[in-house]
Structure 1
Amino acid sequence: MAESTDKIPTELRIGPDHLSRPFPLGVSGAGTGSDGLANAAVFAPGLKAVDIHFEAGGRWRSAPLRELTDGVHHGLVPGLAPGSRYGFWPRASAAQPASRQLLVDPYARAITDDGGLYRSVFVEPEFDWGEDRLPRIPWRDTVLYECHVKGQTMLHPQLPAGLRGTYAGLAHPVMIEYFLNLGITAVQLLPVHFHLDEPHLQELGLSNYWGYNTLGFFAPHEGYATAKARSAGPKAVLDEFKTMVKKLHEAGLEVILDVVYNHTAEGGKHQQTYSFRGLADKAYYRHDVHGNYLDTTGCGNTLDLNEPRVRQLVLDSLRYWIEEFHIDGFRFDLAVALCRDRNNHFDPRHPFLADVAADPVVSQAKLIAEPWDVGPGGWQTGNFPEGWADWNDRFRDTARSFWLEDANALQHGGSGSSVARLASCIAGSAEVFAGSGRGKLASINYITAHDGFTLADLTAFDRKHNEDNGEENRDGSNYNRSYNHGVEGATGDGAVLDARARAARNLMATLLLSLGVPMITAGDELGKTQHGNNNAYCQDNETSWLNWVLDDRQEQMFRTTRRLLRIRKSFLANQPYSYPSKEQSSYLLWFNECGEPMTQDQWTDPASRTVQLLMGSPSGSIDGLVVINGRLEPRKILMPSTGALRDFGVGGSHGRTFELVLTTSEHDDRRRGARVASGEREIIGANAISIYRA
């Protein structure tokens, strides 16, 4: 701690007429009238005595937490008022940290950085929410937009300079108008819990831009608040965050938080102690039989949610963000690490998952699992229980392979894959989620995420280029299923740029036309590049921030994405809200390039890379037709025939007319509005998708 203990006055006495409580954990108001008391409670079962050090009257004081109940040290503290900084100190204990860092309260509602020393802050939650209501958008209609609070607005020319890169900037009318114009329904924010930079990044002069290194699970990261709010104090930072949520809700947009409950910023056992390790190392972290940290996160430690108090911490944190910040849902980083039993095996009936399902508040939020970690048996896509949705990495890999990896192979005389796997993903990856009793809305479909290449870079780089990260390009994935279309990186070759743009449109169309819940990574709709860096977690600069100055191709990418989202919305408008959770509600019919039903041989033939997808409604109407051509040359096809439609119970005795509403082939898109009847011939551009309205 910055202040030496000899400057701290002797302990303050508490009268016998007051009783402290072991619950709630953290610091909470306890006085009435002029008492001015706060109740402090901290879980530290292995410590014999704990003091609380705090600010009062312009100086630091200390008081013992006299009571111990079920491992919780607690006491009443006079003079600890809202706005005061504080921390816990193990008294006369071997667990006392080697540095002078006061231990951060795991339940601190705010944390400040005093030159590398971190202080908890006592903050009371009052805020005028007015008529705020959660949008509660059905999963069927949800479109996620994964973005970073700072990177989303840092370079936006229409935002006031003081709001760029902040919570307030994200909810500025200019930004809200952009979200609504694009057509997304939920902003999914990269971590906003208070986080630290890892030591190796500090040595390199870099920072943890993404924020997956949490110190406080109840405290918003103060670095994303405006300078005005930071100077006004932690309460103003919380209020700015809440105002952001309130304004996004007013626009009908949900707010999803990316949360990191799998590890903490304390890292490996020989790194700095900030909080959990000094209070209850054996309880908070997983250990092997030798007492070493059992790490399935790759971050030095793993929180142990087999311990009831650790599960309580996570559930209390989730409930707090829902009740006090009106958050609509959560994406759980490395969720498998939260659900490993004492034998280190993933358990879909883990107590944490059971507690979430039984919690009347948390269970009603949108719950999204990143269904893997780095431990043995860590890949668990499709195995989380009902009530959860999973990031679908199979969808990501299949779409990339079909449109990029296969195109590269075909271009060089090889062969690609059949259309069967892509069709399965478009149809909602039912086989992936059936075993867990879930339907297709459990699939969070995505092509890219914060980690990995951007959509534009997938089409422009065969190899990662992470040299700026200071790890000699060793970090980041080496296998990305990308294709540079003949030139690595930037080029002025118009033909190469056109091919890349078409590939990006194909991937975006595949994402937004598929059953399940799509997630767009911020900037993909703008052709954002990170210049080949596929692990930009430490690039808090123009590499990661969205660039709002667009060239013609980037403008076209935005228009295409917006049109695709409108097509998706139009199609879903005719579907029941259960769509497509049940197999009988998936009104999809598949035809070959001759307009007849696909045969088994055609599904499995690698040379058969053309398929037609007819989308229908429960009423028996036809809503649209999607034609996929994964070959390198245009294909002449026949639209589904009247007879074929009749065989499927669609269309009666009359033919159908299909109107072209979008194609990813820039040349063919000029024909938008053209009409083609059932059984008539149509040309689909090379390596392209065409979409028709019936």
Structure 2
Amino acid sequence: MLMRQPCPSLQFAYSPPFGATLQDTGVQFSVFSRSATAMRLLLYNKVSDREPAEVIDFDRDKDRWGDVWSLTVPNLDAGQLYHFQASGPWDPDNGQRFDSTARLIDPYAQALAGEFQKSTDGVIRPPKCVVIDDKFDWEGDRHLRHDMSETVIYEMHVKGFTKSRTAKLKTGGSYLGVIDKIPYLKSLGITAVELMPINEFPINDIYGNKIATPNYWGYDSMAFFSPHRGYAHDKTPGAQVVEFKQMVKALHAAGIEVILDVVFNHTCEGNEQGPTLSFKGLENQVYYILSEGKHYCNYSGCGNTVNGNHPVVREMIFHCLRHWVHNYHIDGFRFDLASILSRDRKGNLVPNPPMVELIAEDPLLADTKIIAEAWDAAGAYQVGSFGNHRWAEWNGRFRDDVRGFWRGDGGTLGALATRLAGSSDLYEHDGRPPFCSINFVTSHDGFTMNDLVSYKEKHNLANGEDNRDGDNHNISDNYGAEGPTRKKGINTIRTRQIKNMMSTLMLSQGVPMMVSGDEIQRTQKGNNNAYCQDNELNYFDWRLVNKNADMHRFVQSLIKFRLAQPTVRRKTYLTGQPVDGRNVPDVSWYSAAGTPLDWGQQDLAMVAYIAAPARQDDIEGLGRDLVLMFNSTGQDREFLLPEIGRGAQWNLFLDTAADSPNDIFPDIDGPMPKDGRHIEMPCHSMKVYVGE
């Protein structure tokens, strides 16, 4: 009898065809370069070595196969340190920038070690590549495959989450530090962490000096296949690979998926004035989009643009995604400035770009969530039109419309209703479901939720750019005082507004994403572009968990409610038509007086009646009818329960104007309306009632 055996290549590891591949007899080194006239392998004994212990020349006749240089060096093992070095034409006017003295990072390197070393001879000595043994005991771990409609995303920075001294961890700021704080994440109720870039990026400058404005966020890619060495607790070369896998396995054990923020739009090599570290010294005109064959196109706003739709680069990106999915068990990706993937090899936006379509259709990525930041720094804005149904998008329209409504901006009533109902105006026309909309009010880029209601203007002087950096369009308010204040009335409104926006986020159709620390009112002191602040300004302050325990409880209860109520996480759009088996529309809209809503009114007061889905084929759990009441005006109001809801029993779930613990009732056992009809709605407040 034949026994079925698991497929080793998929169960244990995915082996890209390039880079350093560990073999029984040594290590095979393979690198692409079409135009190089010579290739060398530099081998080092120690991280601190300034010069290689051995230089091995590739034989042009024996070690070159097409445009691939490949050789096997016997008696090498995991942990070996190396660089490539290539000779070729120096012809910038025709896109060629070979430098025979440059030590080059392998584009497929699976780990880096060390820092840029001090230089007195003008030679850049970047971190060294490390040969990795990919064996790891996953103990049966697999992708969690949470349904997108049942996902709550928590955007966080690996270092910032535990680096603060308030975390009280010996492993603070590392992958292991995240493991130590998993009980907190689990208790909050989120289902996925979206990690800001963990791919390798520079720590010091190219000559080993401390960077005046460090790229703390990590959007400055240096090696796409490598987990960042700076987040490893153990500083042994390659230790970051093991620690990262330990973190993923531990998060999975807690039921939490891991989504990576990946930056395939530019690299840290910059423009014509930037250093030669990897791509430039191997095949510059292939890896980057060039104008007139020589100038770097800057669609990323960071000096260069990766040529993602060139076949060679496209292949590299695919190998990279598969590497993270199958070697690290990553559950999904958020593509930074993803519209760049829609640009052809000349930088033109094209319909049905092959890169975007292939990512969606790749069978080895079929279990993953794929999310686009559907714009770039050169004016492309594709929110609502990026890719097919496999692609979800950061919904920037949701962010702006929710902020505008709760700030009291005129003409935002219809916009809020559309976002609350799943943004069908953006996604339905392409047959994409509501969960293609990643709803968010705040992210790493911009104000925190606390600062959104505390500052009218950005305060970025600490960044060293005279407050010129950062977005000026924040749709924020301070409600009477710029920054912290002791005035009770102002703080009351601010707290209320945070609860309003957080409630709108968690109760809207689509997929909610919150940024780490918003649940405890973390502040960046008005800095809306804290990319370079590697300090307490960016770190998660664990003292706030207790100080702002009421807000933490509020958010925790919202997440629990969302995951228990299919009414707010449908897989199809609300239509305003009766639901199956009931003579009740799936959604209906009313004025504060309980009459049908006039969408042309300027009054920012509204009631939404959302009926529970009657059909349970594709939805787990039994939903309940909801009445959501919004008063974004500056006056206290009296609302009337619409006729459609009278005669039923309604329990209060949340009241953003009430003090804790009466602001939210996790067991949905809050008081019913006093006479079944009249409901007091303080200014800037929201209430939600749940039917029996």
Q: Shared topology, TM-score over 0.5?
A: yes
**Counterparts of 2:442 and 2:290, CA distance in 1:** 34
Per-residue deviation, 1:326 = 0.3
**Counterparts of 2:128 and 2:684, CA distance in 1:** 57
| 1:569-580 to 2 correspondences below 5 Å | 569-572=563-566, 578-580=571-573
**Counterparts of 1:533 and 1:398, CA distance in 2:** 22
Is residue 284 of structure 1 aligned with residue 273 of structure 2? no
Per-residue deviation, 1:551 = 8.2
Select the residue among 202, 207, 210 that pairs with 2:214.
207
Select the residue among 385, 388, 402 that pairs with 2:388.
385
Q: Deviation string for 1:82-112 (max 9, x for gaps)?
A: 1110111114654676595410100001111
Per-residue deviation, 1:624 = 1.9
Comparing 43-52 with 86-95, greater Cα deviation is found at 86-95
- Is the CA contact (8 Å cut-off) linking 1:382 and 1:435 kept in structure 2? no
- Is the CA contact (8 Å cut-off) linking 2:154 and 2:190 kept in structure 1? yes
**Counterparts of 1:181 and 1:607, CA distance in 2:** 39
- Is the CA contact (8 Å cut-off) linking 1:655 and 1:678 kept in structure 2? no
**Counterparts of 1:346 and 1:686, CA distance in 2:** 46
Is residue 466 of structure 1 aligned with residue 452 of structure 2? no
Partner residue in 2 for 1:651: none
- Is the CA contact (8 Å cut-off) linking 2:510 and 2:569 kept in structure 1? no
| 1:313-324 to 2 correspondences below 5 Å | 313-324=316-327
Identical residues among aligned pairs (%): 36
Partner residue in 1 for 2:679: 682
Select the residue among 184, 195, 201 that pairs with 1:189.
195
- Is the CA contact (8 Å cut-off) linking 1:346 and 1:378 kept in structure 2? no
Q: Deviation string for 1:184-221 (max 9, x for gaps)?
A: 10011000001015859967623111000011011110
Summarize the Cα distance change of 1:576–1:448 in structure 2 as closer, same or farther, 3 Å threshold. Answer: closer
Partner residue in 2 for 1:48: 37
Partner residue in 2 for 1:363: 366
Partner residue in 2 for 1:659: 651
Per-residue deviation, 1:26 = 0.7
| 1:611-622 to 2 correspondences below 5 Å | 611-618=607-614, 622=624
**Counterparts of 1:168 and 1:198, CA distance in 2:** 23
Partner residue in 2 for 1:537: 531
Is residue 636 of structure 1 aligned with residue 638 of structure 2? yes
Summarize the Cα distance change of 1:551–1:632 in structure 2 as closer, same or farther, 3 Å threshold. Answer: farther
Per-residue deviation, 1:381 = 4.0
Q: Deviation string for 1:462-498 (max 9, x for gaps)?
A: 1111011111110000110000111111111111111
**Counterparts of 1:614 and 1:577, CA distance in 2:** 11
| 1:248-263 to 2 correspondences below 5 Å | 248-263=251-266
Per-residue deviation, 1:56 = 6.0
Partner residue in 2 for 1:596: 595
Calculate the aligned-residue CA RMSD, in Å.
2.6
**Counterparts of 1:582 and 1:550, CA distance in 2:** 41
- Is the CA contact (8 Å cut-off) linking 2:440 and 2:514 kept in structure 1? yes
Secondary structure of the corresponding residue to residue 76 of structure 2: coil
Is residue 556 of structure 1 aligned with residue 550 of structure 2? yes
Partner residue in 1 for 2:227: 220
Partner residue in 1 for 2:172: 164
**Counterparts of 1:103 and 1:581, CA distance in 2:** 54
Q: Deviation string for 1:323-371 (max 9, x for gaps)?
A: 0000000000000011212453333411112221331112331000000
| 1:274-353 to 2 correspondences below 5 Å | 274-353=277-356
Per-residue deviation, 1:668 = 9.6
Secondary structure of the corresponding residue to residue 347 of structure 1: coil
Match of 2:658, as an amino acid?
Answer: E
Q: Deviation string for 1:387-433 (max 9, x for gaps)?
A: 01000000000011111253xxxxxxxxx224111011000111111
- Is the CA contact (8 Å cut-off) linking 1:185 and 1:254 kept in structure 2? yes
| 1:372-521 to 2 correspondences below 5 Å | 372-404=375-407, 406=409, 416-521=410-515
Match of 2:153, as an amino acid?
Answer: L
Secondary structure of the corresponding residue to residue 284 of structure 2: helix
Secondary structure of the corresponding residue to residue 333 of structure 2: strand
Partner residue in 2 for 1:129: 138
State the TM-score, normalized to the length of structure 1. Answer: 0.87
**Counterparts of 2:346 and 2:272, CA distance in 1:** 21
Per-residue deviation, 1:681 = 1.3
Per-residue deviation, 1:115 = 4.0
Summarize the Cα distance change of 1:666–1:100 in structure 2 as closer, same or farther, 3 Å threshold. Answer: farther
Q: Deviation string for 1:613-658 (max 9, x for gaps)?
A: 33422259743221111111222122122xx35xxxxxxxx82111
Please, which runs of 5 or more residues in structure 1 have no aligned partner?
1-21, 407-415, 646-653
Is residue 149 of structure 1 aligned with residue 158 of structure 2? yes
- Is the CA contact (8 Å cut-off) linking 2:158 and 2:196 kept in structure 1? yes
Partner residue in 2 for 1:233: 237
Q: Deviation string for 1:154-184 (max 9, x for gaps)?
A: 1264543x21111001011xx2111121111
**Counterparts of 1:579 and 1:330, CA distance in 2:** 24
- Is the CA contact (8 Å cut-off) linking 2:383 and 2:396 kept in structure 1? no
Summarize the Cα distance change of 1:437–1:242 in structure 2 as closer, same or farther, 3 Å threshold. Answer: same
Summarize the Cα distance change of 1:156–1:138 in structure 2 as closer, same or farther, 3 Å threshold. Answer: farther
Summarize the Cα distance change of 1:430–1:121 in structure 2 as closer, same or farther, 3 Å threshold. Answer: same
Summarize the Cα distance change of 1:388–1:433 in structure 2 as closer, same or farther, 3 Å threshold. Answer: same
Secondary structure of the corresponding residue to residue 548 of structure 2: helix
- Write 1 or 2 for the structure with the bigger share of helix: 1
**Counterparts of 1:593 and 1:553, CA distance in 2:** 36
Comparing 536-545 with 283-292, greater Cα deviation is found at 283-292
- Is the CA contact (8 Å cut-off) linking 1:383 and 1:433 kept in structure 2? no
Partner residue in 1 for 2:582: none
Secondary structure of the corresponding residue to residue 374 of structure 2: coil
Match of 1:692, as an amino acid?
Answer: Y
Q: Deviation string for 1:427-455 (max 9, x for gaps)?
A: 01111112332121100000011010000
Match of 2:159, as an amino acid?
Answer: K
**Counterparts of 2:253 and 2:572, CA distance in 1:** 27
Is residue 63 of structure 1 aligned with residue 56 of structure 2? yes
Summarize the Cα distance change of 1:473–1:482 in structure 2 as closer, same or farther, 3 Å threshold. Answer: same
Summarize the Cα distance change of 1:581–1:129 in structure 2 as closer, same or farther, 3 Å threshold. Answer: farther
- Is the CA contact (8 Å cut-off) linking 1:372 and 1:381 kept in structure 2? no
Match of 1:690, as an amino acid?
Answer: K
Partner residue in 1 for 2:111: 110
Select the residue among 120, 126, 140 that pairs with 2:129.
120
- Is the CA contact (8 Å cut-off) linking 2:32 and 2:69 kept in structure 1? yes
- Is the CA contact (8 Å cut-off) linking 2:565 and 2:624 kept in structure 1? no
Comparing 307-316 with 675-684, greater Cα deviation is found at 675-684
Secondary structure of the corresponding residue to residue 344 of structure 1: coil
Tell me the number of residue pairs that the alignment of Structure 1 and Structure 2 aligns.
639
Partner residue in 2 for 1:411: none
Per-residue deviation, 1:612 = 3.0
Partner residue in 2 for 1:412: none
Summarize the Cα distance change of 1:169–1:108 in structure 2 as closer, same or farther, 3 Å threshold. Answer: same
Secondary structure of the corresponding residue to residue 330 of structure 1: strand
Comparing 370-379 with 486-495, greater Cα deviation is found at 370-379
Summarize the Cα distance change of 1:577–1:392 in structure 2 as closer, same or farther, 3 Å threshold. Answer: closer
Summarize the Cα distance change of 1:493–1:581 in structure 2 as closer, same or farther, 3 Å threshold. Answer: closer
State the TM-score, normalized to the length of structure 2. Answer: 0.87
- Is the CA contact (8 Å cut-off) linking 1:459 and 1:484 kept in structure 2? yes
Summarize the Cα distance change of 1:666–1:581 in structure 2 as closer, same or farther, 3 Å threshold. Answer: closer
Secondary structure of the corresponding residue to residue 355 of structure 1: helix
Q: Deviation string for 1:572-595 (max 9, x for gaps)?
A: 2x6897355999889323222233
Q: Deviation string for 1:56-82 (max 9, x for gaps)?
A: 699711222232223111122224321
Partner residue in 1 for 2:184: 178
Per-residue deviation, 1:143 = 0.3
Partner residue in 1 for 2:10: none
